[in-house]
């Protein structure tokens, strides 16, 4: 087919390059693909090297170096939206429970119990074996404290004093704390470069904007915001602990998550009755919120996260971090009639940009690229919502090959 060219050249489409051709490697651009053409001028003289674009189906290429399988957006888009919506709704569900008087410790306990039940049911349906060695259970118990029992209680306590909108946006700072703790405790982790340092600074400036520190101490607002911030700090420490002690173990991710959430349920159940008294029936609505928070936010969302990683790759799955605050803000404003101040919008935007700066890969080193694939300094796909299992064990990274900014 011949197409007119603005310079008087008529282009003729050739067949697509074969797999492995330089034009076919790397990630395909969404909506367009570059292909070689033959071009002829008005005088009939053939012109080589002219290329054009044609619209193609939106797709991403999953695999190392762009050599993996091609996956259409239609395959992973529904799971992406569902996952971000479930994690974003977690903050509104917490608010529903604590507003009717459910103690924060019992909110955390019921979430862990229901989440563990969902994950062990999934494990049984898949007929996957659970880890049995004591070392894995011991490390999982520590990870459960850092990633589930403590931060779940802190977020629940924080939302007794702040809105679910603010809690959801503060939760987006988790990758920033993950980077800090990874540099401090993970062997072989290089210090962040100027770009990532700028991202950290912008992120914490966004947090101060979110908290509205210029207003001075309010009626519990700063305390609640700091509790949510402490929860995300626990997430960062927990992810670094996972990366150091549970990476590369020969267990399925589902099995590790089931063990970890079971440990968190036991830890919460040991503390809640003594610190918060006996549990009470909160009513049908709050009970349904707790059921969704545990079974959906921890069980179903985890399966969606794992499926998204396998279907679309870690880059797409990591992008859920940017969308979750939008859901938490929208649901809090529309369903709970929570106010959204200018500082929440400005601070949230600063946090999202900061996370993008800390995660953006640096230009690859050609020598290193031929030896081993680059590994992000921060685990690319980690559950960053309080409704998620937060226990996807990262793959062990080759020492000295981390790409830093």
> What's the pLDDT tens digit per position in 267-299?
999 999 999 898 988 999 999 999 999 999 888
Same domain, 328 and 374: yes
Q: Cβ distance 312 to 124 under 8 Å?
A: no
Q: Cβ distance 154 to 232 under 8 Å?
A: no
Give domain status of residue 276, yes or no.
yes
Q: CA-CA distance, 80 to 77, in Å (whole number)?
A: 5
Q: Which residue bears the tokens 């036991």?
A: 266
What is the overall mean pLDDT for the chain?
Answer: 75
Same domain, 87 and 36: no
Same domain, 150 and 215: yes
User: Which of the four pLDDT bands, split at 50, 70 and 90, describes residue 234?
Assistant: very high
Same domain, 113 and 7: no
pLDDT (0 to 100) of residue 71: 57
- List pLDDT tens digits, range 301-326: 878 887 887 787 766 777 787 888 88
Q: pLDDT at residue 242 above 80?
A: yes
CA dihedral 29, 196, 319, 59 (to 10 degrees): 10
Q: CA-CA distance, 299 to 297, in Å (whole number)?
A: 6
> Residue 340: which region, alpha, beta or left (left: phi > 0; alpha: psi -120 to 50)?
beta
Q: CA-CA distance, 87 to 12, in Å (whole number)?
A: 49
Same domain, 43 and 83: no
pLDDT (0 to 100) of residue 359: 72
pLDDT (0 to 100) of residue 9: 40
Q: pLDDT at residue 129 above 50?
A: yes
CA proximity to 293, closest of 96, 137, 144:
96
User: Which of the four pLDDT bands, split at 50, 70 and 90, describes residue 247?
Assistant: confident
pLDDT (0 to 100) of residue 14: 39
pLDDT (0 to 100) of residue 293: 95
Same domain, 363 and 220: yes
Q: pLDDT at residue 153 above 50?
A: yes
Residues 6 or more apart whose CB falls under 8 angstroms from that of 381 comprise 305, 309, 314, 317, 318, 392
Give domain status of residue 67, yes or no.
no
What range defines the domain where residue 326 resides? 75-403
pLDDT (0 to 100) of residue 214: 66
Give domain status of residue 66, yes or no.
no
Same domain, 49 and 101: no
Q: Cβ distance 369 to 190 under 8 Å?
A: no
User: Which of the four pLDDT bands, split at 50, 70 and 90, describes residue 27?
Assistant: very low
User: Which of the four pLDDT bands, split at 50, 70 and 90, describes residue 69?
Assistant: low
Counting residues of the chain whose pLDDT is more than 70, the rounded percentage is 68
What does R_g of the chain's alpha carbons equal in angstroms? 24
Number of domains in the chain: 2
CA proximity to 261, closest of 102, 157, 389, 359:
389
CA proximity to 341, closest of 173, 156, 165, 112:
165
Q: Which of 1-15, 86-100, 255-269, 356-370 is the least confident region? A: 1-15
**Helix and strand counts by DSSP (H, E) for the chain:** 15, 9
Q: Is 50 helix (H, G, I), strand (E, B) or coil?
A: coil
100 or 246, greater pLDDT: 100
User: Which of the four pLDDT bands, split at 50, 70 and 90, describes residue 178?
Assistant: confident
Q: pLDDT at residue 18 above 80?
A: no
Give domain status of residue 143, yes or no.
yes
- List pLDDT tens digits, range 188-232: 777 788 888 888 888 888 888 887 766 655 566 788 989 999 999
pLDDT (0 to 100) of residue 25: 38
Give domain status of residue 68, yes or no.
no
Q: pLDDT at residue 55 above 70?
A: no
> Residue 127: which region, alpha, beta or left (left: phi > 0; alpha: psi -120 to 50)?
left
Same domain, 286 and 154: yes
Q: CA-CA distance, 182 to 184, in Å (whole number)?
A: 5
Q: Is 12 helix (H, G, I), strand (E, B) or coil?
A: strand
State how far the alpha carbon of 343 is from the alpha carbons of 5, 216, 220, 349, 350, in Å: 50, 14, 17, 10, 10
pLDDT (0 to 100) of residue 161: 93
Give domain status of residue 373, yes or no.
yes
Same domain, 285 and 204: yes
Question: Between the ranges 10-19, 53-62, 171-180, 264-273, where is the mean pLDDT highest?
Answer: 264-273
State how far the alpha carbon of 65 is from the alpha carbons of 185, 300, 360, 374, in Å: 29, 31, 16, 10
Q: CA-CA distance, 29 to 169, in Å (whole number)?
A: 30
User: Which of the four pLDDT bands, split at 50, 70 and 90, describes residue 114?
Assistant: very high
| CA-angle at 167, arms to 166 and 172, nearest 5° | 100
Same domain, 218 and 312: yes
State how far the alpha carbon of 402 is from the alpha carbons of 175, 185, 235, 260, 369, in Å: 16, 15, 21, 27, 11
What HEC string does 288-324 produce? HHHHHHHHHHHHHHHHHHHHHHHHHCHHHHHCHHHHH
The pLDDT of 19-33, averaged and rounded, is 39
pLDDT (0 to 100) of residue 272: 95
Same domain, 154 and 240: yes
* Prediction pTM value: 0.72
248 or 364, greater pLDDT: 248
Give domain status of residue 325, yes or no.
yes
Same domain, 175 and 205: yes
Give domain status of residue 351, yes or no.
yes
Residue 54 bridge partners (DSSP):
33
360 or 87, greater pLDDT: 87
Q: CA-CA distance, 359 to 326, in Å (whole number)?
A: 19
């Amino acid at each position: 087919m011949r197409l007119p060219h603005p310079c008087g050249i008529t282009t003729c489409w050739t067949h697509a390059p074969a797999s492995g051709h330089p034009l076919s490697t790397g990630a395909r651009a969404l909506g367009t693909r570059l292909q070689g053409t033959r071009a002829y001028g008005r005088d009939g003289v053939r012109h080589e090297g002219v290329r054009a674009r044609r619209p193609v189906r939106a797709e991403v290429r999953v695999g190392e170096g762009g050599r993996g399988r091609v996956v259409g957006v239609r395959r992973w888009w529904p799971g992406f939206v569902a996952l971000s919506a479930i994690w974003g709704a977690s903050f509104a569900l917490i608010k529903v429970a604590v507003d009717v008087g459910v103690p924060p410790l019992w909110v955390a306990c019921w979430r862990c119990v229901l989440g563990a039940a969902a994950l062990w049911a999934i494990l049984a349906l898949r007929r996957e074996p659970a880890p049995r060695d004591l070392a894995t259970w011991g490390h999982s118990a520590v990870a459960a404290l850092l990633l589930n029992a403590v931060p779940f209680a802190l977020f629940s306590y924080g939302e007794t004093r702040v809105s679910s909108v603010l809690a959801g946006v503060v939760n987006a700072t988790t990758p920033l704390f993950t980077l800090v703790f990874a540099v401090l405790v993970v062997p072989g982790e290089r210090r962040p470069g100027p770009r990532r340092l700028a991202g950290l600074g912008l992120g914490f400036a966004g947090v101060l904007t979110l908290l509205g520190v210029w207003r001075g101490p309010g009626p519990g607002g700063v305390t609640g915001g700091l509790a949510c911030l402490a929860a995300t700090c626990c997430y960062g420490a927990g992810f670094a602990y996972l990366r150091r002690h549970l990476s590369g173990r020969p267990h399925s991710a589902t099995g590790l998550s089931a063990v970890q959430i079971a440990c968190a349920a036991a830890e919460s159940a040991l503390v809640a009755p003594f610190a918060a008294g006996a549990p009470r029936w909160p009513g049908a609505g709050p009970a349904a919120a707790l059921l969704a928070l545990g079974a959906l936010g921890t069980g179903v969302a985890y399966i969606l996260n794992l499926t998204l990683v396998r279907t679309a790759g870690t880059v797409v799955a990591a992008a859920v971090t940017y969308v979750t605050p939008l859901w938490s803000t929208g649901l809090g404003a529309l369903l709970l009639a929570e106010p959204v101040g200018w500082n929440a919008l400005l601070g949230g935007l600063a946090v999202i940009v900061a996370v993008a700066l800390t995660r953006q890969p640096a230009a690859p080193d050609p020598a290193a690229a031929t030896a081993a694939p680059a590994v992000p300094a921060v685990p690319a796909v980690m559950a960053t919502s309080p409704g998620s299992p937060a226990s996807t064990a990262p793959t062990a990274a080759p020492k000295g090959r981390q790409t830093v900014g």
